[in-house]
Amino acid sequence: MATIKVPATVPSPAEDCDQLRKAFQGWGTNERLIISILAHRTAAQRRAIRATYAEAYGEELLKSLEDEISGDFERAVLLWTLDPADRDAQLANEALRGWDRSNRVLIEIACTRHSSELFDAKRAYHLRYKRSLEEDVAKYTTGDFRKDLKNDRKNEFVAALRAIVRCTCYPQKYLEKIIRLAIKGQTTDANSLTRVVTTRAEVDLKVIEATYYKKNNVPLEQAIKGETSGDHKKMLIALLGYDDA
């Protein structure tokens, strides 16, 4: 179940674009206005806003956002504003380019998306990077797995297999654990927390939220509020379906 809240009467894309443009103008950016619009629109509505914005102002909305906001807040807003397929393509590319044997982002994408979503993500990847996802997976990971096996580091391979099983059979539990580890580490893993919230808010974040409470006896909203700050916190809380951050 999704967590985002969309107003009963949604303004037209042109009206939303006009308000977003106003948020970018003046001496300071109106971050609250950005959140009040983008965090409360579905993927289809955000897509329409991006198309209308580009037509009206001759500039990509994502570019305007990049120019106006920064840090973890920027990361959350940009990931959320992307089409789901484009978002998965970007996340996969980032994971591959910064490849680490403990990286589970590719497993997360492969095991929690439907076949049609994976097809769309692979198509988006090819359009973005002019290479197939399979080519880059082979380029960046094959050697690492081979080295692991030659160096008797089979534990890494086994850990990956276990992650695949958990993620496939119990996706919400798997994603709850990612959030829990992101929050409970010595320092908050903002990237992992942001990734799960932005990719699951329209899918099953309500179930993940309930799983988190059952496991930790602490509301996820409260946990996120305690470990994040500023507009980043407000954006994540809005995607959880709350607006009192």
Given a contact cutoff of 8 angstroms between Cβ atoms, the answer to whether 106 and 92 are in contact is yes
Query: What are the tokens at 84?
Result: 């789901």
pLDDT of residue 167: 87
| Number of continuous H segments (helices) and E segments (strands) in the chain | 15, 0
Taking each helix axis from N to C end, the angle separating 220-227 and 230-239, rounded to the nearest 10 degrees, works out to: 170
Q: Which of 98, 66, 76 is nearest to 199 (CA)?
A: 76
- What is the CA 212 to chain-centroid distance, rounded? 18
User: Alpha-carbon distance 201 to 138, whole Å?
Assistant: 31
DSSP code, position 63: H
Query: What are the tokens at 88?
Result: 């998965």
User: Alpha-carbon distance 111 to 168, whole Å?
Assistant: 5
Cβ atoms within 10 Å, residue 208: 27
- Domains defined for the chain, CATH in brackets: 13-81 (1.10.220.10), 84-239 (1.10.220.10)
Residues 6+ apart with CB under 8 A from 190: 72, 75, 182, 228, 232
pLDDT along the chain (245 residues), means of 10: 96 98 94 98 98 98 98 98 98 88 83 95 97 90 56 62 83 96 91 97 98 98 97 98 79
pTM of the predicted structure, to 2 decimals: 0.92
Given a contact cutoff of 8 angstroms between Cβ atoms, the answer to whether 36 and 28 are in contact is no
DSSP code, position 69: -
Given a contact cutoff of 8 angstroms between Cβ atoms, the answer to whether 82 and 121 are in contact is no
pLDDT of residue 149: 45
Length of the chain measured in residues: 245
pLDDT of residue 138: 85
Residues 6+ apart with CB under 8 A from 74: 65, 66
